[in-house]
Amino acid sequence: MHAMPRLMSEAGAAAGFAWDEFFYAEHHNPHTQQAYQRAVRRFLGWCDGQGKGLTEITPGMVGKYLVGLGGSPAKRNLHLSALRGFFDRLVQRHVVVLNPASSVKGVKEHVVEGKTPEITIDQAQTLLKCIRTTYKKKGTQVANVVGLRDRAILATLAYTACRAGAVAKLRLQDFQYDGEQYALRFHEKGGKSREIPVRLDLQRIILAYLDAAGLATEQKDRPLFRSTVRRTKQLTARPLTSKAIGELVKRRLKDAELPTRLSPHSFRVTAITDLLTQGVPLDDVQYLAGHASPRTTRLYDRRQKKVTRNIVERISISVE
């Protein structure tokens, strides 16, 4: 990001070593690096404003800072996690004697259901069907590569319950055929990889995109889903980012006149809820979703929400 905060630069070479080690050697995920570094910078800036040096920070100051930080429990717990890890590293490098964040309690948060809105089965079908995969050129219908790409991305989200980040990382070699069926190998956060079988309709959708884009003969380490040259229908050699996939989903939702509060993660919620509704065992759904704990999978389950709606509809009060 930028230069180290003043409190760190004044603490000497060991502090600078610990800073680089914690943010760039211990944490390789760029999102974690950025989130933790923002949290630590903000806290050290606050301490500097209090007139305190690095070795003068106490657990009470950390607790007071977190209370004043406000926001959701998740936000405050993220900041606390960043501070605990960072000061642990400072202790290991003998920059400070004790970790002032280690005894500070986090904020308890009891989450029964995730906040991501689900896309209904009908809405998902409408979205996939309304994408134009051809267009007229000089009186002839030709393949719309961008439409075929977008349909393939949306279908992958819908039929694999994967994250947008995992879709963005797909390479041509990750769409694999073993002589009997196709599979997609996803590279998830935390260095995990999973192989998900491709159902027949998704197979046809991806193959149609690859054929129209002329990607079948390209090197297998090249991106599967490519960005475009601005508003043209020409694909580049660069992969779509997870942010671009999110924007793509919003744009397609708007074109289909569907709620734009939905997101790529909405497909994940729907796939998990749908499978659990059909009686698929929780551990099978958990593996499909790539969750380390069944508790996380249950956060995506919206079956109880549907029961609640049915119950409130039975309340006899009426305005009509």
Check residue 204 and give left, alpha or beta (phi > 0: left; psi -120 to 50: alpha).
Answer: alpha
**Sequential pLDDT tens for the chain (320 residues):** 468 899 999 999 999 999 999 998 988 778 888 999 999 999 999 999 999 999 999 999 999 999 998 888 888 899 999 999 999 999 999 999 999 999 998 877 554 445 778 888 999 999 999 999 888 877 788 888 999 999 999 999 999 888 899 999 999 999 999 888 899 999 876 677 888 889 899 999 999 999 999 998 889 999 999 998 877 778 899 999 999 999 999 999 999 999 999 999 899 888 888 888 888 888 888 878 777 777 777 776 666 666 555 655 566 565 65
Taking the alpha carbons of 55, 58, 61, 62 in that order, is the dihedral positive or negative? positive
**Separation between Cα atoms, residue 157 and residue 289, nearest integer Å:** 11
